Amino acid sequence: MANSKFEYVKHFEQPDVLLPNTWIVVRLDGRGFTKFANKYEFAKPNDRRALDLMNAAAKAVMTELPDITIAYGISDEYSFVFHKTCTLFERRASKIVTTIVSTFTAYYIFYWSTYFPERPLSPPLPSFDGRAVCYPSVQNLRDYMSWRQADCHINNLYNTTFWALIQKGGMEAPAAEKLLSGTLAADKNEILWSRFGINYNNEPEIYKKGSVVLRDYELVEPSSQKTAANEVDNIAEPVQQSKTQAEKEKKLRNKAQVTIQHLDIIKDEFWDRRPWLLS
């Protein structure tokens, strides 16, 4: 590298290395998607094509970045999780976040015409913001994932009821909003059932649970993971195995096909059956 008298400016760069030995979560979110959804006439409350497009972009990101162990998406947002031992870009936050966000955005635009063939994109083009957050414990990481899925559930139940009142009940938005203010989940379920014959439980899983992206790898039998230890803290202990065996399995997992599923990630079962995600 040639030296120049200008090179000192490099020292103005601030280090942004993420705390070692912590679970890194990068969450991206669509910029101004309320407006964007209106422009492209997304179905209310859930446009299936738009969700499938988000999922296709997330799957591509995960395929290109094997360091990501699991991702979770709802609405216009996606969270990508890196294992606590990850050393990608020396854990520099800006490099990790910008790479994820730009790769995701590129694929979102690349796949747009597959999901919206009759609606070509025009400026302003979709863009996403992103941030990285470090979670020091498995419990913190699981609580983060649970927080996002609980959000999905709360929003979807509200939106499903709100739009049923408008689309099927002929209500104006302010009236529907007023009717729903202060209601509990049970009240919304009751409104859906008694007024519209909708059983919320029968709504599509993708809307109720969001989307989990992960590598399709052998599941651990539900019972074999239960030990006295994880009955205390409800978190599976890693199974002891030789280093070479562990390396071999890790390689196999990284090669496994990336899949999208709509599962409960709040309950222990999901994590118990996939102990490699947290060990």
Q: Which residues bind ligand ATP (CB under 6 A)?
A: 29-34, 37, 42, 46-47, 50-51, 75-76
Q: Which residues pair with residue 132 across a beta bridge?
A: 26
Query: In 3D, which of 38, 66, 42, 64 has the Cα closest to residue 53?
Result: 42
Which does residue 42 touch among ligand ATP, Mg ion, none (CB within 5 to 8 A, set by kind)?
A: ligand ATP
Q: Please state, in angstroms and rounded to a whole number, the distance separating the CA atoms of residues 218 and 177.
A: 45
Q: How far is the CB of 34 from Mg ion (least distance, A)?
A: 7
Q: How far is the CB of 258 from ligand ATP (least distance, A)?
A: 21
Candidate list 23, 33, 78, 200; residue touching Mg ion; CB under 5 A: 33
Which does residue 37 touch among Mg ion, ligand ATP, none (CB within 5 to 8 A, set by kind)?
A: ligand ATP
Nearer to Mg ion, 73 or 275 (CB): 73
* Angle (nearest 5°) at CA 154 between 149 and 158: 145
The amino acid occupying position 236 is A
Q: Please state, in angstroms and rounded to a whole number, the distance separating the CA atoms of residues 72 and 74.
A: 7
Q: How far is the CB of 42 from ligand ATP (least distance, A)?
A: 4
Q: How far is the CB of 32 from ligand ATP (least distance, A)?
A: 5
Which does residue 47 touch among ligand ATP, Mg ion, none (CB within 5 to 8 A, set by kind)?
A: ligand ATP
* Angle (nearest 5°) at CA 234 between 65 and 205: 60
Q: Please state, in angstroms and rounded to a whole number, the distance separating the CA atoms of residues 10 and 260.
A: 42
243: Cβ contacts below 8 Å, ≥ 6 apart:
none
Residue 29 sits in the site that holds Mg ion (CB under 5 A): yes
Q: Where do contacts with Mg ion occur on this chain (CB under 5 A)? A: 29-30, 33, 75-77
